[in-house]
Amino acid sequence: MPAATAADRAALERLARRDESALAELYDRHARLIYSLALRILRDQGDAEDVVQEVFAQVWDQAGRYDQARGNVAGWLVMLARSRAIDRLRRRQSRPETPNVEPDALEIPDATPLADDQLLASSRAVAVRAAMDGLPLLQRIAIELAFYEGLTHVEIAERLEQPLGTVKTRIRQGLLALRGRLTGAA
């Protein structure tokens, strides 16, 4: 729904002018996705709620600084939430927090903002689920261990008892396959 994306951008502009109703609007549209993601990573309702609250506090503070060329708002919220949830998970497991986990450390212009908008629309949920289900099991597991458990490729290789090169290749193949299925590219 490109309409939701346009509405998101309008809401972000209102947010930069400290319009509180814009925050409520973004919350109503995206809190479910963000909460589900935080819950998946942290498996704890209280921690997941805290992450949602932190993300929207950050959005409230930084709406004016958000670069719209960088991709859509939902994607931005997803990366903020993942980053905060993984930080918490690492603290809980007493693993070293990776500095610089903040998304967009690299100034990544969004290569395909239009396709991205389409991908993030809620109507794509079914397509994403089907695309994930269609991946070979180890590609899928490796991607999930990285994205939801915050493991590095070295840790994934140890966990799955696979050679490092195999794990790297599987993650790449998996993401390329997902991209192909989601954009209809070959």
Partner 1 sequence: MAATNHDAFVDAAALYAVGALPPEERAAFEAHARECAACTAEVGSLSSVARTLPLALPQIDPPFALRARVLAAARGTRAAHGQSMEQGAAEPPRWRRTIGWLSAAALLALAAAVSADAVATRQRLRNVEVRLQDALDRLGRSEARAAAASQESAGIQARLAVLIASDLTQVNLAGQPSAPAATGRAFLSRSRGLVFAASNLPALPAGRTYQLWYLTGGAPLSAGLFKPDASGRAVVTLDPPPPATTPSGLAVSIEPDGGVPAPTGAIYLAGQTH
Q: How far is the CB of 60 from partner 1 (least distance, A)?
A: 4
Q: How far is the CB of 24 from partner 1 (least distance, A)?
A: 6
Tokens at 166, concatenated: 């195999």
Q: How far is the CB of 7 from partner 1 (least distance, A)?
A: 18
Q: Tell me whether residue 12 or residue 151 sits nearer to partner 1 (CB atom).
A: 151
Residues ≥6 apart with Cβ < 8 Å to 16: 63, 64
Q: How far is the CB of 25 from partner 1 (least distance, A)?
A: 11
Q: Tell me whether residue 3 or residue 96 sits nearer to partner 1 (CB atom).
A: 96
- State how far the Cα of 24 lies from the Cα of 37, in Å rounded to an integer: 19
* DSSP characters over 121-138: SGGGHHHHHHHHHTS-HH
Q: Tell me whether residue 7 or residue 160 sits nearer to partner 1 (CB atom).
A: 160
Q: Letter for the amino acid at 162?
A: Q
H-state helical runs in the chain: 2-16, 20-42, 45-62, 73-92, 113-120, 125-133, 137-149, 153-160, 164-183
Q: Tell me whether residue 7 or residue 49 sits nearer to partner 1 (CB atom).
A: 49
